[in-house]
Amino acid sequence: MSKLLKCISPIDGSIYAERPVLNASEASHAVAVAKRAQIDWAKRPLQERVDLVMAGVAAIGKMNDEIVTELAWQMGRPVRYGGEFGGFNERASYMADIAHDALADVSISNDDNFARYIKRVPHGLVLVVAPWNYPYMTAINTVAPALIAGNAVLLKHATQTLLVGERMAKAFLGAGLPQGLFQNVFLDHQTTSDLIAAKNFGFVNFTGSVGGGKAMEQAAAGTFTGLGLELGGKDPGYVMEDADLDAAVETLIDGAMFNSGQCCCGIERIYVAESLFDRFVEKAVSIVSNYKLGNPLEAETTIGPMAHKRFADEVRAQIDEAISAGAKAHIDRFAEDDGGAYLSPQILTNVSHDMRVMRDESFGPVVGIMSVRDDDEAIKLMNDSDFGLTASLWTKDVDRAQRIGDQIETGTIFMNRCDYLDPALCWTGCKDTGRGGGLSIIGYHNLTRPKSYHLKKAN
């Protein structure tokens, strides 16, 4: 009997969807079919590939009403927020718009003696292992440019969002992509590792945990397979004494709590200039106290359950440990907090970097807030982390933000905003956040390889 992947809905703990995994033979067949389809796909004109991919994107848009409800059932995001199609479309559209320039030949010379140039050619078959927290947007970051660049794609989605890959494959196939070029596959960890170790892929993009990233590296060891790894963060915000306080509080707290804190680049720790600290905390507490925790299918719900009880249990453990070590909790337990997936949001002060809540990735609706004396202290604390995805700086002084940003070990610096992925900029990280870069022209470079031509002309 095949192993079943089961999506347990955070709404009520029921099994919302289940699918059998592919066995080794079935997985190898999917790989072979994709590789055959890729050969002809790469020969098609670039604009034709762009048009077909964007037709697939549009097809997802037509499914959005159904998708919004499915996402609530699968991972708990409230329906009031309308799903992910806005960001999904924005990212794919940008990558389509820059495709001709990003994939253009680099001409070195073309004279009477030589034609010399560099082409960008597809890897062949790309494996995308996507997470559940923003399942459509994180997947399209790689799926769209990989297909546009001439690759075939296998998409393995998280068990928590089993239906997402099916939706995407149905949409793109219906839009006219060749059979087998873009496939959704249900795989267990061992089969995934075996496929990578057998050199089936030219590139693997993984978004998930540090442990998962290590497993990908171990599977790829010795194969020379290209890897793109985005493994989470512990993203800081720093509010300087000249900041717009109201804007800083509103934006940073939303960045910490939106999607029940389940955002790769969500704000997990905030450092505030001493002169603003008390007012910042007061305003933050007022905002969070007015959230409505509840069933994500109900329009009035502003914060839904976490995607799984075990995720909520980890956040509760971090909060409890911090309070036991002297942290102050500012938010009373919500009546809807059931000790399971439904978790009260929390703001903590009197925290330190000795506490896990300020070091380990929480990935939930909790944020610790500390006061700082000056920029030097803030920089030291922001860099005191195993992660490096984004950092959010709040000041009216652009030069100051640039100067501080140059000293922070991170992938992206924001000024007066946070928790946003700009498709024109490379999405990247450092330290335990991982390696590689997605979107932007860099994304295309990672999904292709350079091939040089040195053509001597006959006299």
CA distance 429 to 15: 35
User: pLDDT grade, residue 375 (50/70/90)?
Assistant: very high
Both 242 and 384 in a single domain?
Answer: yes
Residue 91 lies in a domain: yes
Q: Is the pLDDT of residue 86 over 80?
A: yes
Q: What is the mean pLDDT of residues 110-118?
A: 96
CA distance 268 to 261: 8
Both 397 and 443 in a single domain?
Answer: no
Residue 197 lies in a domain: yes
Calculate what percentage of the chain has a pLDDT beyond 90: 99
**Is residue 55 a contact partner of residue 96, using CB atoms and an 8 Å limit?**
no
Residue 427 lies in a domain: no
Q: Is the pLDDT of residue 404 over 80?
A: yes
Task: Indicate which CATH number applies to the domain containing 289.
Answer: 3.40.309.10
Both 227 and 261 in a single domain?
Answer: no
Both 212 and 292 in a single domain?
Answer: no
Which pair of tokens denotes residue 398? 């652009």
Both 287 and 335 in a single domain?
Answer: yes
Both 271 and 397 in a single domain?
Answer: yes
* pLDDT score, position 386: 98
Q: What is the mean pLDDT of residues 266-295?
A: 98
Both 280 and 210 in a single domain?
Answer: no
Instruction: Pick the more confident residue, 2 or 71.
Output: 71
- In Å, how far from its chain's centre is CA 422? 12
Q: Write down the catalytic residue from 7, 70, 263, 264.
A: 264
Contacts of 197 (CB under 8 A, 6+ apart): 219, 220, 223
Q: Is the pLDDT of residue 189 over 60?
A: yes
Residue 428 lies in a domain: no
Using alpha carbons only, give the angle 117, 120, 121 rounded to the nearest 5 degrees.
Answer: 125
Rounded CA Rg of the chain? 23
User: Does the annotation mark 166 as catalytic?
Assistant: no
**Is residue 240 a contact partner of residue 415, using CB atoms and an 8 Å limit?**
no
* pLDDT score, position 1: 56
Both 16 and 54 in a single domain?
Answer: yes
Residue 161 lies in a domain: yes
Task: Indicate which CATH number applies to the domain containing 81.
Answer: 3.40.605.10
Both 259 and 154 in a single domain?
Answer: no
Q: Is 0.95 surpassed by the pTM of this model? A: yes
Residue type, 272: V
Q: Is the pLDDT of residue 2 over 80?
A: no
CA atoms within 13 A on the CB side of 273: 15
Residue 266 lies in a domain: yes
Q: Is the pLDDT of residue 108 over 80?
A: yes
HEC assignment per residue over the chain: CCCEEEEECCCCCCEEEEEECCCHHHHHHHHHHHHHHHHHHHHCCHHHHHHHHHHHHHHHHHCHHHHHHHHHHHHCCCHHHCCCHHHHHHHHHHHHHCHHHHCCCEEEEECCCEEEEEEEEECCEEEEEECCCCHHHHHHHHHHHHHHCCCEEEEEECHHHHHHHHHHHHHHHHCCCCCCCEEECCCCHHHHHHHHHCCCCCEEEEECCHHHHHHHHHHHCCCCCEEEEECCCCEEEEECCCCCHHHHHHHHHHHHHHHHHCCCCCEEEEEEEHHHHHHHHHHHHHHHHCCCECCCCCCCCCECCCCCHHHHHHHHHHHHHHHHCCCEECCCCCCCCCCCCCCCCEEEECCCCCCHHHCCCCCCCEEEEEEECCHHHHHHHHHCCCEECEEEEECCCHHHHHHHHCCCCCCEEEECCCCCCCCCCCEECEECCEECEECHHHHHHHCEEEEEEEEECCC
Range(s) of the domain holding residue 102:
4-231+433-456
Q: Write down the catalytic residue from 70, 84, 230, 268.
A: 230
Both 226 and 247 in a single domain?
Answer: no
Residue 361 lies in a domain: yes
Both 121 and 259 in a single domain?
Answer: no
* pLDDT score, position 434: 96
Q: What is the mean pLDDT of residues 188-207?
A: 98
User: Does the annotation mark 263 as catalytic?
Assistant: no
448-456 β-sheet, strand order:
106-110, 114-122, 448-456
What is the per-residue pLDDT across 220-274, written as a single tens digit (0 to 9) for each? 999 999 999 999 899 999 999 999 999 999 999 999 999 999 999 999 999 999 9
* pLDDT score, position 459: 74
| Overall domain count for the chain | 2
The whole-chain average pLDDT of the chain stands at: 97
CA distance 44 to 184: 22
Both 189 and 306 in a single domain?
Answer: no
Residue 74 lies in a domain: yes
What is the per-residue pLDDT across 19-54, written as a single tens digit (0 to 9) for each? 999 999 999 999 999 999 999 999 999 999 999 999
